[in-house]
Amino acid sequence: MINSLFSQFTPNTINFLPLNIISSCIAISWIFINFSSNSFPGNINYIWNNILNNTNKLIFQNSKNNTAPWIPILITIFFIILSINLTGLLPYAFTVTSHISFTYSIATPLWLSINILGFFISFNYRLSHLVPQGTPWYLIPLMIWIESISLIAQPIALGLRLAANLTAGHLLIFLLSTAAWTINNIFISTITTIILILLFILEVAVACIQAYVFTSLINFYIDQNI
């Protein structure tokens, strides 16, 4: 039962073709949409530019000028996570972002590079954040430990939040879809199917929101450190 419950997280194949290859081809197709060419109508480029402009306004509306060099990286991360989350909702798809090995491989290097750059630019300013202003002298060692732990917990929470939310939603979809097919009662099966459809719509929203939250938190860390 446990193996069948978590079998959705095992990479699948279609006619012996790994879905990782198919997802890679879908990811590469973004390149053709980004750049204007004769192969794509102007309307597609127009829609894509509107999506890109609205995404920039949504994520970076309250950002500082110092975060401007990071915008291309954060936009790329946003669309990568969004694409993986949405394609993971397709039947027989594999959601890579439901694994902490993938989310931590993105969260940890970004967090580490932001903090290293922050300490390199203004070392004294970054150290001052470890001790809030007005802290009594006898609480300074304790506050340094607390602030250091909260700093280290940032990449842990960043990667775990994304994986946990997607995993929980996929498990609920799997359980409800299994119940809808196995229950013999038509009335209960119909209700379960309706709930499953509503849950699927909710998961589409969660996939978009989690990509936004992940990128916004990284942008917030940049504002705080640089």
Q: What is the pLDDT of residues 122-162, one digit of tens each?
A: 777 777 777 777 778 778 788 888 888 888 888 898 888 98
Three-class DSSP labels, the chain: CHHHHCHHHCCCEECCEEHHHHHHHHHHHHHHHHCCCCCCCHHHHHHHHHHHHHHHHHHHCCCCHHHHHHHHHHHHHHHHHHHHHHHCCCCCCCCHHHCHHHHHHHHHHHHHHHHHHHHHHCHHHHHHCCCCCCCCHHHHHHHHHHHHHHHHHHHHHHHHHHHHHHHHHHHHHHHHHHHHHHCCCHHHHHHHHHHHHHHHHHHHHHHHHHHHHHHHHHHHHHHHHC
* Domain boundaries along the sequence of the chain: 2-225
Rounded mean pLDDT of 32-44? Answer: 57
Q: Quick one: pLDDT at residue 3?
A: 46
Q: Quick one: pLDDT at residue 170?
A: 84
* Averaged pLDDT of the chain: 79
Give the whole-number percent of the chain exceeding pLDDT 90: 8
